[in-house]
Amino acid sequence: MTREAHISTLSLAVLGLISQRPCSGYDLRKVFSTTPMGHFSSSPGAIYPALQRLEKAGLVVGTVENKKTLRPRQVYSLTDEGKRELKDRLSRPVTRDDVIWRVDDLLLRFAFMDGVLGRDATVSFLKDFLSNIETYVVSLQEHLNAAREHLPPTGRFAMENGIEQYEMQARWARRVLGEIQGIQGNQRNSKEEES
Amino acid sequence: MTREAHISTLSLAVLGLISQRPCSGYDLRKVFSTTPMGHFSSSPGAIYPALQRLEKAGLVVGTVENKKTLRPRQVYSLTDEGKRELKDRLSRPVTRDDVIWRVDDLLLRFAFMDGVLGRDATVSFLKDFLSNIETYVVSLQEHLNAAREHLPPTGRFAMENGIEQYEMQARWARRVLGEIQGIQGNQRNSKEEES
DNA sequence: AATTTCATGTAACCAGTTACATGATTCA
DNA sequence: TGAATCATGTAACTGGTTACATGAAATT
C-alpha cells in the first residue's frame, strides 16, 4: 500500500533534519530561516503541509508536548518506515538526470549521509556523482563549441558559467573523496588524481 | 493597467529567446530540449501556457503562418511593450535576495543582455553581481565557522560546496568583467585585480 | 501595557509536471 | 502504408508562495 511516496526536495530536507533529532515545525522553520538550508524554501505554508504529508505517508509521527495548552507543540520523529525511506532515498544511484536537473537534491542527500549510510556508500555516491558530472561537462563543452559562433557574447559567457559550475562540482567531489578516503580509508597514498 | 506583469524565470527565457528572433512554440521547445537552456523547464505544458500569458499581458503577439491549414503555425514576436518589459527586467538592480534565491535568473538575464542593454549596463550588472556575491560568501563562511563543530562531516562538506559555488561565481564575474572591459573598454591596463 | 517571540496553521493562487490528445506532413 | 516528425494544445495534479489568522508566554 504505502509504496512510492513522492518526496519533494523540501520534504527530504525535513526528513533529514528530523533524522538528526526530533523537531517541531517551528524548530524546522528556525533551521530553514537561519541557515543556508533555507535555500530549500522556508515558510509555514510549505513546511507544515510537508509535515502533514510525511505523517500521512507514515514516515514521521508527531507526539504532542504540553497537552493542556490550546496550542500544543508537536514534535515529530522518524518512524521505522521513515528511516527506511530516507536510507532508500539517500542510497539511490546517481543518474545523469540527477546531475542535470537536481544537483541540489544530490547535495542535500550527501549532507545527510552521516548517520544514515556508511562510509562505503558515501564514497561510492561521490564516485558516481563525479563520473556523471565529468561526462556531462564534456557534453556541455561540445555543445558550447558547436554553438560558439552563433552565440552573442553574453550568451557564451553564461554558458561558460554553467560549465564552470559543473567543473567546480567535480573539483569538490575529488577533494572530498580524497579527504574521506585519506582520513580513515585503507591507507594507500592518494594517487588517483589525473586520469 | 498593464502594470506589474509577474514574469517567471521560464517566461523570461521565452521572452529573451523571442527577442533574438521570432519563434513559434515549437521552435522554443526545440531550443529548450536541445540546449542547456532546457534547464528552465521544457515541455508543452509549460511553454504554451507561458506564451499565452505573455500574449495576454501584451508582451508578445502571435501571427499565424499557413492560415489555410487546420493547425496553423503561430509565430510570436515582441511587442513594444514586451521590449520595454524585457529591458526593464534585465536592468533591474541585483539584490542580495537575487544572489541567494535566484542566481539562475541572474545568469539568464545576463545571457540576454547583448542586443538589449549596452555594454555599460552589462558591466555594472556584473559589478553589482560580484559585490553581492562577495558579501554573501563572507556571511556563508561566517556561518560555517560558527556551525563547524556541530556539523556532521558530510554536512560540513555540503556547506563548503555551497560556498565554493559562490566563489566560482565570483571568479567568473571577475574574469568576464576583465574580458568585457579589456576588449573594448576605455583601454587602461586591467589593474583592478586584488582589492 | 505593549511588543516580541513561540508556535501552529489555513486559503487563495500560481506555475510547472505528467500524461494525454489531435492531426498534418514527410520520409522510408 | 506506416512511422517519425512537425505542431499545438489541454487537464489533472502537486507543491510552493504570499498573506493572513490565532493565541499564549516572555520580555521591555
Q: Which of A41, A154, A168, A179 to mutate to test the interface with B (most CBs of B within 10 A)?
A: A154
A65 touches chain B (CB under 8 A): no
List chain A pLDDT tens, one digit each, 195 residues.
444 678 999 999 999 999 999 999 999 999 999 999 999 987 899 999 999 999 999 999 999 876 655 567 889 999 999 999 999 999 999 999 999 999 999 999 999 999 899 999 999 999 999 999 999 999 999 999 999 999 999 999 999 999 999 999 999 999 999 999 986 544 444 444 443
The nucleotide whose C1' lies nearest the CA of A46 is D16
Element (H, E) at A154: helix A153-184
* Cell numbers at A149, concatenated: 559562433
* Range name among A79-83, B29-33, B62-66, B100-104 with the lowest pLDDT average: B62-66
Residue A14, min C-alpha distance to chain B (Å)? 14
Let me know: does A35 contact B147? Beta carbons within 8 Å.
Answer: yes
Q: Three-state DSSP class for B73?
A: strand
Count Cβ atoms within 10 A of the Cβ of residue A38 and give its class: 0-12 exposed, 13-18 middle, 19 or more buried. middle
Inter-chain CB proximity B113 and A35 less than 8 Å: no
| Residue of chain A nearest B136, judged by CA positions | A36
Total residues belonging to chain B? 195
A39 touches chain B (CB under 8 A): yes
> Span B180-195, mean pLDDT?
54
Confidence check: pLDDT of B194 > 70:
no
Inter-chain CB proximity A36 and B113 less than 8 Å: no
| Residue of chain A nearest B35, judged by CA positions | A143
Supply the DSSP string of A102-151, one letter for each residue: -HHHHHHHHHT-TTTS-HHHHHHHHHHHHHHHHHHHHHHHHHHHHHGGGS
Query: CA of B70 and C1' of C20: distance in angstroms?
Result: 20
pTM for the whole structure: 0.90
Strands (E), B8-162: 23-24, 60-65, 73-78
Inter-chain CB proximity A164 and B172 less than 8 Å: yes
| Residue of chain B nearest A164, judged by CA positions | B168
* Cell numbers at B11, concatenated: 517566461
